[in-house]
Structure 1
Amino acid sequence: SEAALKYFLLGIVASVILLYGMTLLFGLTGQTNFIAIAKELAKQKIDATLAVAMLMIIVGLGFKVAAVPFHFWAPDVYEGSPVPVATYLAAGPKAGGFAAIIHLFPVALASVKPAWAMVFAALAVLSMTVGNFVALAQNQIRRLLGYSAIAHTGYLLIGLAVADQIGYSSMIFYFFVYSLAALGAFLVVLATTERGIGESVTDFAGLHKRAPMVAFAMAVFLFSLVGLPPLAGFMGKLFLFSAAVKSNLIWLAVVAVLNSVVSFGYYVTVIRQMYLAPPVIDKAMPISAPLYLSIMLIVAAIIVLGVYPTAFLSIINL
């Protein structure tokens, strides 16, 4: 399909840019071990080659996590892919991209931390703002979730802008709770499309009458993505925004809070359709047992992590 071809070709370009940046880094240091690279760079002055290498690595990994302005593939791929594939894309590539970033930059590029932290702060603002404001204009649920994913990349990048252990730990926790909510939302879309319901936001009209628990689950997922208490998304944003404030990035925390307010506008549109709009068909919508169980387990996890996040936080040493 067109979406698959676009993702494949752009992925190749991003990978080439990433590899070229890493090649430049190897040329500067002669090392492949991150700690050894850091030691070599500490002996050198920051020059144009190092700046180009760092920026190329950011561009390559920025594509993987769908950060603005490297996000152009994401909405079309989310919309054009089969729902199970889109479900994977909601978190899978982000996990790999952020894992690479959090291992590479704080260790190998520690000597130029102020430079890359500033770049990630700028990307965070761009991703949050573009993702949320463009999502406001979307009428197709998967495209809406695609732009939402871009906005959440922006929130996650706050942890890298903070560039300390609290920021990294907050980012890991937020990525986990975001992934749960995004996965749950796409599973609901999968459940509805299996029963012939369209993918327009208006196609969710009256869902609470046809499948009350599925509508409730979708509301939980969307409210968690907004960051409303007592759900896990609230705790994730609280930790990230607090980390920004503690690092004197108050302006970044304010931008993030304002963007969260904006995001409420498009998430609540879906919820309004499910609960206030009359259903086109009044017939109950059956859901397969495995899919229903998966959705409800994610709902439980989001509620538990929102009320009692310390169990997971102890694992990542927040």
Structure 2
Amino acid sequence: MFTLPFDLLLIFTVASPILGWVSPKQYRAKICGVFAAAALVVVGVALFGLYQDVVANAAVYLPSNALNFATLRVDALSIFMTAIFLGLGFAATIYSIAYVENSGRTPFYFTLILALISGMVGIVFAGDLLALYVFWELMSISSYALVAFFKEEGTPIEAGFKFLIMSAAGSATALFGISLIYGLTGTLNFEGLVAALSGATPNAWIYLAAVFVFVGFGVKTAVFPLHTWLPDAYSAASAPISAILSGIVIGPGVYALAKVFFTAFLPIQTAWTLAFAVLAVVTMLIGNITALRQTDLKRMLAYSSIGQVGYMLIGFAAASQLGLTGTFLQFFNHALMKGCAFLCAGAIIYRLGSRDISGMQGVGRKMPLTAFAFAISVAALVGLPPLCGFPGELTLFSSAVQADLTWLGVALLLNSVISAGFYLRIVYVLVQPVSSPAVEKIKESPLLMLIPILALMVLIILFGVWPDPLVNFAGDAANALISLGGNP
């Protein structure tokens, strides 16, 4: 119906709850978790086959399918984004087996994870704005449910509802912007948009459509001032879901903004590049400065994710191949770094029963592997070499300087210094002598939690020491977008 990787993902999503219902209750978490993880591996293998077709043909097209509402266009950018979704989704799924073992709703949990990833893959495979919007809603509905999944704790319900209200308003706003684009061009196909608007004279309707699209997709991306849902959602959700939300759910928002602005809104590029430059600085500062004041570990990580979004917007402001390479590279690295950090935080909270940073003195002495992985992940988030955060931030800095936006590069460096302040504070607390009976009683993370944590840590180090394959992959993704819309 679609492509083999996407078809398999949808089939596994439908099969997941059925398998859970027929599985013995005492083994349900392990069976459903292993099934979901295996499903993502199978989809990854199928994705590699599709990647070979993309290499040979630059892009793979699928005309109107059986549902008769959409076209798909798969290029290097689609493959790049999907690889991130599948990779972090796999790590979070393995981690979740131990995390949800005592939950009575295990089949629904893993089904929602697969549905969430299906929606994200659909977004980056979409060849037109209608298909993108339909899959955007699939991703959104799944994410609302996952944030509020552990409703017994109370806070997730409130956070999930806030997330629902803001995201639904954003989706409606995006739909209105899409309708304006259709009214201007008579098409929703991305290549058709480029043809219809290339050389067009800027007018008020194009600017209005750009504002609505930015606000609509900017909510999920958590760009200032549309970020207020994020700290509550990330801190209230379970640790593996926080890792997915922070690590990869912002990706479809970044992707959607890039895809639309670098195709439909090229006639007003001068205006939106300046707007993105200002938003990048404000988003960085708001996220990082607010993170400095947090005493809750997960809320601190949540606010720092807002700062990372500001970093990614630098590539939009630079509006160049180098800038887009930096944005996609930073997103890939952010998925590894923040995914690892949230999984470590979840393991600490799972053992300690508290999210208060001041009560974590000595945790590193009781959970040395988890604490070490956390230290590596936050060092990478600061941008220290030789970890994977350094190449991404260096590329973004270089793109800003190349675009005569040196002040934007300086803002990036300043925010890296600010982020070091709150990250190092946590590491310092973790390595202090044990100061409470609660910490004295804890032990290292469960094995199923520790395996994905250490795997992500290894990748953080590997792509820092040997970044060339990743930089080239991100460059191919950037070139795919540029070739679609023409050189920005």
> TM-score normalised to the size of structure 1?
0.96
Q: Which residue matches 1:309?
A: 467
Q: Deviations over 1:86-129 (max 9, x none)?
A: 22211232111112122221122222211221121111011001
Q: Which residue matches 1:209?
A: 365
Q: Which runs of 5+ in 1 are unaligned?
A: none
1:46 to 188, 202, 212: 202
Are 1:121 and 2:277 matched, yes or no?
yes
* Contact in 1 for aligned 2:246/2:339 (Cα 8 Å): yes
Q: Deviations over 1:186-215 (max 9, x none)?
A: 111221222133111123211221011111
* Distance in 1 between residues matched to 2:296 and 2:442, nearest whole Å: 23
Shift of 1:53: 0.5
Shift of 1:62: 1.1
- CA distance 1:246–1:83, change in 2 (3 Å): same
* Distance in 1 between residues matched to 2:216 and 2:356, nearest whole Å: 32
* Contact in 1 for aligned 2:288/2:304 (Cα 8 Å): yes
Q: Which residue matches 1:11?
A: 167
Shift of 1:284: 5.3
Shift of 1:313: 1.7
* Contact in 1 for aligned 2:368/2:444 (Cα 8 Å): no
1:266 to 412, 418, 422: 422
The one-letter code sitting in structure 1 at the alignment partner of 2:235 is E
Shift of 1:81: 2.2
Larger relative contact order, structure 1 or 2 (CA cutoff 8 Å, min sep 6) = 1
1:226 to 382, 387, 393: 382
* Distance in 2 between residues matched to 1:284 and 1:60, nearest whole Å: 44
* Contact in 1 for aligned 2:369/2:444 (Cα 8 Å): no
Are 1:182 and 2:338 matched, yes or no?
yes
Q: Which residue matches 2:20?
A: none
Shift of 1:130: 0.5
* Contact in 2 for aligned 1:66/1:153 (Cα 8 Å): yes
The one-letter code sitting in structure 2 at the alignment partner of 1:309 is P
Shift of 1:20: 0.4
Q: Which residue matches 1:285?
A: 443
Query: Equivalent residues in 2 for 1:38-117 (5 A)?
Result: 38-117=194-273
* Distance in 2 between residues matched to 1:139 and 1:293, nearest whole Å: 28
* Distance in 2 between residues matched to 1:245 and 1:215, nearest whole Å: 36
SS of residue matched to 1:57: helix
* Contact in 1 for aligned 2:388/2:464 (Cα 8 Å): yes
> TM-score normalised to the size of structure 2?
0.63
Tell me how large the CA RMSD over aligned residues is: 1.4
Query: Equivalent residues in 2 for 1:229-268 (5 A)?
Result: 229-268=385-424
* Distance in 2 between residues matched to 1:86 and 1:314, nearest whole Å: 29
* Distance in 1 between residues matched to 2:350 and 2:199, nearest whole Å: 59
User: Mean alpha-carbon deviation: is it higher for 105-114 or for 272-281?
Assistant: 272-281
- CA distance 1:289–1:142, change in 2 (3 Å): same
* Contact in 2 for aligned 1:232/1:304 (Cα 8 Å): yes
User: Mean alpha-carbon deviation: is it higher for 287-296 or for 272-281?
Assistant: 272-281
Larger Rg: 2
Are 1:143 and 2:299 matched, yes or no?
yes
Q: Which residue matches 1:31?
A: 187
The one-letter code sitting in structure 1 at the alignment partner of 2:461 is I
